[in-house]
Each structure stands twice: as C-alpha cells, then as structure tokens.
Structure 1
Amino acid sequence: MSIYDYEVTFEDGTKYSLEKYRGKPLVIVNTATKCGFAPQFKQLEEVYQQFNDAGLVVLGFPSNQFKQEVSSSEEAAQSCRTTYGVSFPMHTINNVNGKDALPLFEYLTKQAPGAIGSAIKWNFTKFLVDRDGNVVKRYAPKTNPLKMVDEIKQLV
C-alpha cells in the first residue's frame, strides 16, 4: 500500500483518492478547533501560502478523539477559515487512533520514521510526505509548523 491508495472525505462529504496529490509534497495534520494548539492553524496556513506554488499541499483532518472539536465537519472547517484564515483543504471529523481510526492515520503512524506503530498522542501531530508518497517525518503536536520549513524546502 502507498499513501495514494487511501480515500478520504472533504468536509462537505465529497470523497476522493489521495492519488489526486501524487507528485506533490504533503503536510497531513490532525486538528481540533478547541485545542490549545489551534493557533497553529495560522502557521500551517503560512506554510501553505509560502510553498503552495511550489506544489506543497497541507491537508487538515479534524478529530474529536481528544474531545476538543466542534460537532460537525462543516462547522470545524468554517471555524478554521474565519478564525485563522485557513484556505488549505479540510476533511471530515475522524478518529486517528484505535479500531475506528481513519485508515490513512493507521498508515501514517506505521510509516512515520522514529515513531513506527505509535499512536497519535494529541491534536496537531503533523506528517511530512515527499513527492513520491513517502512519509519522511513526524512532528510532535507542540512543534510550530514554521519549524518544518527547512525540511519542506528540501521537498519542493
């Protein structure tokens, strides 16, 4: 399996394959609008704006697994847009751990160097994926997205 074999769902319910992003570096992040790390949305948007023309795509995946998300995917995405100016793609609310975890996150946690098989510990865990679909780095929830810039520059 590769990252391109996974299907995910935009916040409006539209399903699509990550194949859509083949050839583009990705930042995949589990989010929560009520989390203390929610201000990272602003830095994620900054990274997205800085590198989007070079192909980078940031993908936000809301999760209420840690009880810090609003009740609907649409409301979560709208909150990100109005509060933090988010323009990158947002998805439906999903679990990121356990038997009901979104399969993409099961894959990411198994592929992440240095953290193979370990669960997502909190909101705003970030995964950097290269143009070939390889998970190259996992970042802790507390890591400011702007600290990812040097590694992103190597991929764009």
Structure 2
Amino acid sequence: MKRYFLILALILGTTGIAQNDKTIYQFKVENINGETFDLNSLKGKKVMIVNTASKCGFTPQYAELQRIYEQYKDQGFVIIGFPSNDFGNQEPGSNEEISEFCQQNYGVEFPMMAKIKVKGEEKHPLYQFLTEQSQNGFKDSEVKWNFQKYLIDKNGRLVAVKGSSVLPSDPEIVNWIQE
C-alpha cells in the first residue's frame, strides 16, 4: 500500500498538480529604483503583470494601464510593469530613463520594476513561473511581444494570459477585475 501512495505522489508531482501551491508570492523582484519589491505584499489583491517597452507600437497602452490602475487600485487591483528589451530592441534605455519616460509621457503611478529578460536562457525566475505550467499549475505560454498580460488572482495564482493586442480595458479583463 505504501508503494502505491509513493507512486501516486510521484505521478501527481510530475503532472504539475502538486505545483498548484506555487504562487507569485514566493518572488522578490527589484523595482525600477533598485529596491526590493516583495510580491508577498500583494496577498489578497488581483494583479496584472505586463512586460513593457517604450518604443513599441503598443507603448500607448501605458495610458490605458494607468487609467485602469487608477480606477481599480482602491478595490484591491495592482498592475506591475516589467520593462524588457527582448523584442526588437524596443526598450534600450536604463531603468532611470524608462522611469522618466513613463512618468513624463503617461503619468505612470503603478509599480514599475527593473528591466528584465522575459524569454530565453536568461529569463527572469518570475517569468519562468508565469510561462511554465510545471511551475504555475495553469498553463504553458510564451511571451510573444511587448505588453503581454498575465492575470493573477487574489490567491497569487495565474488565471489568464492575454496577448499584446488585448487592451487593458478589454471587457473580459475589466469583468475579471470587478468579480
């Protein structure tokens, strides 16, 4: 009987079911000012994680991200921006330049993190979690371009992935925030 449970535990562990306990709360990241940002501080909030870029056709989404953030931040919703230069060299600036750009052009007040890799060999551990079902217990995905959105529920679990062309104000996203 013991052997049966050991085999069952091994099978469940390799299917990702046992990984469902993993959340974004296990991660600490660096914010755009070089300070540690503990994602554990977001417990009980819905979170949208977005990889951003300043010189992209989707860059105007910063305005909508800020608008949605302002509208729902007092209702337990947070947006976190992760600048990345992984697509077409569209985020070449330093963290300081990115911060200044976001503030001057879009009045960004939602948390912005330090520039990271969201794909490839040097992919940040948070993005490994977001893109690998074996870690997130939800689904495999690939960051295909700037402004891809990852929706995280109040328990820190990945629940949806939205492509770059899906606007932050898309009814499906807004309905999810309001649930």
TM-score band, normalised by the shorter chain?
over 0.9
Q: Which residue of 2 aligns with 1:38?
A: 59
The residue that corresponds to 2:93 in the other structure is: 71
Q: Distance in 1 between matches of 2:66 and 2:126?
A: 22
In the TM superposition, residue 71 of structure 1 has moved relative to its aligned partner by 2.1
Residue among 89, 108, 112 paired with 2:130? 108
Worse-superposed segment, 67-76 or 41-50: 67-76
Q: 1:139 and 2:166 equivalent?
A: no
8 Å Cα contact 2:23-2:155 kept in structure 1: no
Alpha-carbon distance in structure 2 between the residues aligned to 1:10 and 1:37: 22
Picking from 25, 28, 41, the partner of 1:7 is 28
Runs of 4+ in 1 over 6 A off after TM superposition: none
Amino acid at match of 1:97: K
Structure with the largest fraction of helix: 2
> How much identity, in percent, do the aligned residues show?
40
Structure 1 gap segments, 5+ residues each = none
Question: CA offsets, 1:60-80, max 9 Å, x none?
Answer: 000001110032012112111
- For residue 27 of structure 1, report the CA deviation from its aligned partner: 0.7
Give me the TM-score of the superposition, normalised by structure 1.
0.93
1:12·1:92 contact (CA, 8 Å) conserved in 2?
Answer: yes
* Equivalent position amino acid for 2:160 in 1: K
Q: Is the 8 A contact 1:128 1:135 kept in 2?
A: yes
Cα deviation digits, residues 28-62 of structure 1 (max 9, x gap): 00000101100000010111011001111110000
Distance 1:112 1:124, change over 3 A: farther
2:53 and 2:91 in contact (8 A); partners too: yes
- Unpaired stretches in structure 2, ≥5 consecutive residues: 1-21
User: Is structure 2 residue 73 aligned with structure 1 residue 52?
Assistant: yes
Q: Secondary structure at the match of 1:16?
A: strand
Residues 112, 136 of structure 1: 8 Å contact kept: no
For each residue in 1:6-33, what CA deviation from the matched residue of structure 2 results, as whole angstroms up to 9, or x when unmatched? 1111111101321011111101000001
SS at match of 1:61: strand
CA deviation string 1:70-129 (max 9, x = no partner): 32012112111110111101011110012211111111112385xx32320000000111
Q: How many pairs were matched up?
A: 152
Larger of the two Rg values belongs to structure: 2
Aligned letter for 1:130? D
Aligned-CA RMSD value: 1.3
